[in-house]
Structure 1
C-alpha cells in the first residue's frame, strides 16, 4: 500500500477543476444592439447571445441587390441586341452573296458589291460588340451578387452565437456600447471540456499513459468519485532545478498530467459544472489494479 492508502498502481495529485473558457468576440467594430444572455445562463451551441447594429450593412446590401437587378435588366437588353444584330448579319450576308453572284454575271457593279461588303463587315462588328456587352453584363451581375453575398455574410457575423454548449461566465459589455473589432462581449465556459491538472513526480509520471483510467474527487463532495481519463502528459518537467545532476534531484521533477471528464457524461450535467473547485485527481497506471471502494466512480446518474 502506498502513502495515502492507495494501492500500488494508483497515484494522486492535488488540483482544481477547470473548464475551457471561450471568448465571444465581435468580428467587426460596431455598436451592440441586443443582448440575449446574461451571466450564469446555460446556452446551447448555435444559440444567439447578442446582435450588433447592422443598419449600415443592411443598407449596403439593399444597394447591392438593386445593382444585381439592374445588371440583370442590362443583360436581357444585351441578349436581345445580340439576337437583333445576328439577324442583321444574316441579312447583310445574303445581300452580299446575291450581289457577288450578280457581279459575276454582269448584272451588278463592283461599287455595289463593295457597299454590300462594308454593310456585312459593319453588321459583324456590331454583333461582336453586342456579345461583348453580354459578357460585360454577366460580369456586372457576378460582381454585384458577390457584393450582396459578402454583406449577407458580414450581417450574419454580427450575430454572436455560442460556438457550443456552455455557461456564460462573464458579461463584459452592455447594450449600446461601441466595440472595436475583436471586442469581447461574453466569456463562457465550455461545459464539455472539463478537466483537472495534477502534478506527479518523475517516477510516477513516467508510468502514466494517455487514456489511462482516472478519478476526480472534489473537496466539496468528497464522497463522489467522478470517472475521467488521462488526456495529456507533459513532455517537459515543471519546477525543474537549474542543474540536475543526482537521482534525488531528478526525483524532484514534476510533470503535469491532465485528467478529463467524459463529455457525454457532462452533457446532461452541465449545470453542475463549476470552475476552480479544489480536489484530488487519481490516475491508475496499472490496468490490473482495482479501484478502492471510495473511487469506484459513484457519481450520481
Structure 2
C-alpha cells in the first residue's frame, strides 16, 4: 500500500519533467524572430499565362500539343481547316492578274491618246503657219483647233482610266494579301517558349473568332503574389530585394525582387481565415524570381506552389543569416 501511494506522484513528476524538457528543447531550437525591417507573409507562386486564341472562326484540323508539354517560341500549336481560304486566294489572285491586264490596257490607251494629241498639235501648228501666209482657210484652222481639243480630252479620259485601273489593281492586291493573312492565321503558333497548361479544343471542333485553343505558362516569368498592409507596402520600392521560401523545398531560400505594387488597396484573399484579417485593406505585391534562375530549373517550375515571401523594408539593413540565398 505505501508503494502504490508513491507511484502516482512519481509518474506525474516524470510526465511534467518530460513535457518541460520537450518545451525547453523546442524553445532552444525555435528560429529567432525576424527584425522589424523584414515583412513576411504567406504567398502563392503564379506563372505568367499566355492564351493562344484563333483570330478567325473555323474548324480545328489538328492540335499538335498536349498538356504539360514544353513548346518553343514559333512552334505550331494547332491548325484550322484552310480549304475555303485557299479557294478564295485562287480567286483573289486571278482578280489581281485581270487587274494588271486592265492597267496595261489603260496605259496603252493613254499612250495612243497622247500620240493623237501630239499629231493634232503638229497639224494645228502647220495650219496656223499656212493661214498666216494666206494658204489655209479659216475653216481649216478651226477644224485643227477642234481636233486638238478632242485629243486633249481623250488624253484626260485615258489618264483617268489608268488611275481607275491602278486603283482597282491595288484593291485586288489588298484583297489577296488579306486572304493570305487569313491563311497564315489558320496556323496557330506559340508566341514564346512555355509549357502547355491547358489544351482547350480537340480535332474536329469549331472555334469562333477569339476562341482559345490552348493556354501556356512562361516558366521564366514567375512571381509570388503576397498581400501587405499599407504601412509596409508604402515603404517598398520597385526592384527591392526579396526572399522566397517554398513549402515543398523549405531548405532553400530563393532570391526575388519587387516587380509590382498595386496602386489601390484591396481586401486580402478569401483564403485568409480570420474575419479581422479579411476586413483589413491590403496591397497586392508581386515578388518576381530571376529569369536566369528559372531557366536553370525550368522542369521544376510550377504554378500554385505556396510558401513564405520576405521583403526588406529598409534596404540599408542586411538580411538575417537564415534568409541568405540558398539555391539547389
Instruction: Provide TM-score, normalisation by structure 1.
Output: 0.87
1:245 aligned residue:
none
**Residues 127 and 215 of structure 1: CA distance in aligned 2, closer, same or farther (over 3 Å):** same
Residue 225 in structure 1 maps to residue 253 in structure 2: yes
The RMSD of aligned alpha carbons is 2.5
Flag structure 2 segments of 5+ consecutive residues without an equivalent.
1-30, 269-275
1:64 aligned residue:
92
Quick one: distance in 2 between partners of 1:38 and 1:99?
87
2:309 aligned residue:
281
Contact 1:166 1:270 in 2 (8 A): no
- Name the SS for the 1:258 alignment partner: strand
Q: Aligned to 2:66, which of 32, 38, 59?
A: 38
- Name the SS for the 2:184 alignment partner: helix
1:252 is displaced (CA, Å) by 5.3
Q: Aligned to 1:94, which of 102, 117, 122?
A: 122
1:82 aligned residue:
110
**Residues 90 and 252 of structure 1: CA distance in aligned 2, closer, same or farther (over 3 Å):** closer
* Greater displacement, 276-285 / 190-199: 190-199
Q: How does 1:138-153 map to 2 (within 5 A)?
A: 138-153=166-181
Quick one: distance in 1 between partners of 2:41 and 2:68?
30
1:135 aligned residue:
163
1:290 aligned residue:
318
Quick one: distance in 2 between partners of 1:223 and 1:49?
38
- Name the SS for the 2:56 alignment partner: coil
Instruction: Provide TM-score, normalisation by structure 2.
Output: 0.80
**Residues 238 and 74 of structure 1: CA distance in aligned 2, closer, same or farther (over 3 Å):** closer
1:50 aligned residue:
78
Quick one: distance in 1 between partners of 2:146 and 2:281?
95
Count of residue pairs the alignment pairs up: 291
Quick one: distance in 1 between partners of 2:32 and 2:259?
24
Quick one: distance in 2 between partners of 1:79 and 1:252?
77
* Greater displacement, 50-59 / 170-179: 50-59
Quick one: distance in 2 between partners of 1:203 and 1:93?
91
Q: Which structure dedicates a bigger proportion of its chain to helix?
A: 2
Flag structure 1 segments of 5+ consecutive residues without an equivalent.
241-247
Quick one: distance in 2 between partners of 1:237 and 1:135?
61
2:143 aligned residue:
115
